[in-house]
Amino acid sequence: MTWPDYDPAYPPSPRPQRLRLDAGRYWAGAVATALVAALAATVGVVVFRGVFDIDLVDPPDLLGTDTDLGRYVGWAVVAALAAAALLHLLILTTPRPRAFFAWIMVLATIAAATVPFTVSAPTRSRVCSAVIVAVIGLVILSLLSATASRTIRLIPRTG
């Protein structure tokens, strides 16, 4: 009995592929994501602090602005660019990078949104601060995932 060249029960394995990232377009999307995250932070602070006059739990002041708005915007921009760098690294090194990125972002967003509940402040201040952080995390997750979808290509491995 000879081994058949092709058995439909055991099709040949597909040619190995690797991911290729269009880095220029990807990082343009990452910067745009940081801008949208900063705008989401701005809207959150304006609505809760400006419209409803609710004091927010302030994160550390990265930009030295000494304002609620500057603190949230600074962290939104830093978080977006750090997440973009993480996703870029995952694309280059891991199988299924978007799945790993989604899990990391969801868990990091949950962790960041619980931080306001660790300080002594009125409940409404803690809830509103957590909402702003959660929205920023969701903005970053959704926009960077979409950016990756448009800038990653599968190419056959050579050799």
pLDDT digit string, tens, across residues 95-119: 889 999 999 999 999 999 999 999 9
Specify if 10 maps to a domain. no
From residue 122, give the alpha-carbon distance in Å to each of 40, 67, 88, 125, 138: 23, 19, 39, 5, 25
Whole-angstrom Cα distance, residue 130 to residue 27? 28
Q: Is 89 a member of any domain?
A: yes
Indicate whether 92 belongs to any domain: yes
User: Is 98 part of any domain?
Assistant: yes
Helix ranges (H only) for 9-122 are 23-45, 68-93, 97-114
Residue 44: count of CB within 10 angstroms of its CB: 23
pLDDT category at 154 given cuts 50, 70, 90 is: confident
| Angle made by CA atoms 113, 119, 121, in degrees to the nearest 5 | 100
At residue 90, the 3 state secondary structure works out as: helix
Mean pLDDT, range 33-49, rounded to an integer: 97
Q: What is the pTM of this model?
A: 0.85
Structural domain boundaries, residue 77: 19-151
Q: How far apart, in whole angstroms, are the C-alpha atoms of residue 42 and residue 36?
A: 10
